[in-house]
């Protein structure tokens, strides 16, 4: 679950990280009122779940009331890479001497938390990592011991933080690590972590993702999910109790059981295709659920072909076939489907499909065969007669 900048900063503040005081608003009038309370100059910042707001014109300094009014008016309603700006964060503007970078995330391959730090923050950190990797300090943490103050000081020194702010940077790193651990975050990032002319170290931006599976441990954070900014198909899936994750490709995938869907994604990728989603219809998928799932799959306009991979255990293949037939009566999809039915009542399931003679539906016997067929269909090739 991704947090907006101001929500991340609220978590930061709770753990002793320095942030500027500010207010979140949704109208120009409230932006002006907030700025009057906060004191000029202020920064007007679009609150959307996407980076690069500054470059897109979504972060603006305002010296007085008329500037707040015009910037707030410009930024509210702005579209930043497909994200509509509905909220602004107004905070007291900082003077900046240096812009650093700091983050904590889980390095799965090392099986350890990874703390990263650079004195070249503020810009595209990916570029620093790629072109001058020596300027991005990477430090793995013993998860049982946590990040000690000594380690944090060492990271700040190695990264080349100015001598008079090494202590301040170390404090910030320790606090950021605490945020990551105690809030069950998957990512806690500050870019830029600024140094002011007075040598104060402060988080000017935040990027925090919380582990949705740990939310039950954080009643305070449960209200933070910005459902307006969620992908609309993923939100619908959640409401319907379907496990759906949108991906970048053009082949819709549906299976029963998370493991089977994961391997279906792999097999399709291996066959040269690009999955458009992960969708687990779960065990015991009945006709109604299949219908919902087909509708959901096709809500993504990028989908050019669909692979149904069903392994019948608790799920009965004849039920799935009935669901598919019912769904096709309602939806009449225009993209081709490949259906692989195997396991409990598979013969009956395939027979039902054959009798229904659905347009654009192809049957496959094995997973590999199904993957190759769906990749060909997505590319616009024909694969022989429908089922």
List contacts with ligand GDP (CB under 6 A). 43, 51-54, 59, 61, 93-94, 96, 99, 122, 191-192, 204-205
Q: Is 244 a catalytic residue?
A: no
The least CB distance from residue 247 to ligand GDP, in Å, is: 24
Of 94 and 221, CB closest to ligand GDP = 94
Which among ligand GDP, Mn ion, none contacts residue 59 (Cβ within 5 to 8 A by kind)? ligand GDP
The residue among 191, 185, 209 whose CA lies nearest residue 3 is 209
Of 192 and 349, CB closest to Mn ion = 192
The whole-angstrom separation of Cα 122 and Cα 101 is 7
List the beta bridge partners of residue 60: 44
The least CB distance from residue 313 to ligand GDP, in Å, is: 47
The least CB distance from residue 5 to Mn ion, in Å, is: 8
Of 141 and 208, CB closest to Mn ion = 208
Which among Mn ion, ligand GDP, none contacts residue 52 (Cβ within 5 to 8 A by kind)? ligand GDP
Handedness of CA 209, 301, 262, 328 (dihedral sign): positive
Strand ordering across the sheet containing 59-62: 22-25, 88-92, 42-46, 59-62
Listed in order, strand segments (DSSP E) in the chain are 22-25, 42-46, 59-62, 79-80, 83-84, 88-92, 98-107, 112-118, 137-140, 185-195, 201-203, 207-210, 243-246, 251-255, 277-280, 305-312, 337-343, 361-364
Of 62 and 324, CB closest to ligand GDP = 62
Length, in residues, of the chain: 387
Of 41 and 282, CB closest to ligand GDP = 41
* CB-side neighbour CA atoms (13 Å) of 152: 21
The least CB distance from residue 334 to ligand GDP, in Å, is: 39
Which among Mn ion, ligand GDP, none contacts residue 333 (Cβ within 5 to 8 A by kind)? none
The whole-angstrom separation of Cα 178 and Cα 92 is 25
- Output the CA torsion 10→14→16→20 (10° steps): 30
Report DSSP letters for 305-349, one per residue.
EEEEEEEESSS-HHHHHHHHHHHHHHH--SS-EEEEEEETTHHHH
| Interface residues toward Mn ion, by CB under 5 A | 191, 205
Using Cβ positions, the residue closest to ligand GDP within the complex turns out to be 54
Of 52 and 133, CB closest to ligand GDP = 52
Q: Is 101 a catalytic residue?
A: yes
The least CB distance from residue 245 to ligand GDP, in Å, is: 24
Of 99 and 291, CB closest to ligand GDP = 99
Task: Write down the catalytic residue from 101, 120, 244, 372.
Answer: 101
The least CB distance from residue 54 to Mn ion, in Å, is: 7
User: Exposed/middle/buried for 362, CB within 10 Å: 0-12, 13-18, 19+?
Assistant: buried
Using Cβ positions, the residue closest to Mn ion within the complex turns out to be 205
- Residue 386's alpha-carbon distances to 30, 152, 365, in angstroms, are 60, 63, 13
Which among Mn ion, ligand GDP, none contacts residue 133 (Cβ within 5 to 8 A by kind)? none
The least CB distance from residue 191 to ligand GDP, in Å, is: 6
Task: Write down the catalytic residue from 189, 291, 319, 372.
Answer: 189
Q: Residue 12 is inside which H or E element, if any?
A: helix 5-14
Which among Mn ion, ligand GDP, none contacts residue 340 (Cβ within 5 to 8 A by kind)? none
The residue among 329, 326, 336 whose CA lies nearest residue 362 is 336
3-state class of 76 per DSSP? coil
What DSSP state is assigned to residue 131? H
Which among ligand GDP, Mn ion, none contacts residue 122 (Cβ within 5 to 8 A by kind)? ligand GDP
Which among ligand GDP, Mn ion, none contacts residue 204 (Cβ within 5 to 8 A by kind)? ligand GDP
Q: Which residues are catalytic?
A: 101, 189
């Amino acid at each position: 679950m991704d947090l907006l900048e101001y929500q991340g900063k609220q978590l930061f503040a709770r753990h002793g990280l320095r942030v500027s005081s500010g207010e979140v608003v949704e109208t120009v009038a409230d932006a002006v009122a907030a700025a009057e309370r906060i004191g000029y100059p202020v920064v007007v910042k679009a609150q959307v779940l996407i980076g690069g707001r500054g470059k897109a014109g979504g972060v603006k300094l305002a010296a007085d009331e008329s500037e707040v009014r015009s910037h707030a008016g410009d930024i509210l309603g702005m579209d930043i890479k497909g994200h509509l700006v509905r909220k602004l964060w107004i905070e007291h503007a900082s003077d900046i001497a240096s812009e650093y970078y700091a983050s904590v995330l889980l390095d799965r391959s090392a099986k350890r938390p990874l703390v990263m730090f650079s004195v070249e923050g503020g810009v595209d950190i990916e570029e620093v990592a790629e072109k001058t990797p020596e300027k991005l300090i990477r430090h793995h943490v013993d998860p049982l011991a946590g990040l000690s103050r000594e380690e944090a000081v060492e990271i700040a020194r190695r990264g080349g933080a100015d001598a008079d702010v090494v202590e301040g940077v170390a404090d910030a790193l320790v606090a950021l690590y605490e945020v990551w651990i105690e809030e069950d975050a998957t990512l806690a990032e500050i870019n830029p972590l600024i140094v002011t002319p007075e040598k104060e170290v402060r988080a000017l931006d935040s990027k925090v993702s919380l582990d949705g599976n740990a939310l039950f441990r954080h009643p305070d954070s449960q209200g933070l999910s910005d459902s307006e900014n969620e992908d609309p198909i993923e939100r619908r899936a959640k409401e319907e109790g379907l496990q759906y994750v949108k991906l970048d490709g053009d082949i819709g995938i549906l299976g029963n059981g998370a493991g089977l869907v994961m391997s279906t994604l792999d097999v399709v990728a291996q066959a040269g295709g690009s999955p458009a989603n992960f969708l687990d219809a779960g065990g015991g998928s009945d006709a109604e659920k299949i219908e919902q799932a087909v509708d959901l799959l096709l809500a993504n306009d990028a989908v050019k072909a669909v692979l149904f991979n069903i392994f019948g255990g608790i799920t009965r293949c004849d039920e799935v076939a009935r669901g598919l037939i019912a769904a096709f009566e309602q939806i009449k999809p225009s993209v081709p489907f490949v259906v692989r039915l195997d396991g409990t009542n598979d013969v009956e399931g395939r027979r039902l499909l054959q009798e229904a003679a659905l347009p654009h539906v192809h049957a496959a016997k094995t997973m590999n065969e199904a993957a190759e067929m769906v990749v060909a269909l997505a590319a616009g090739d024909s694969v022989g007669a429908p089922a």
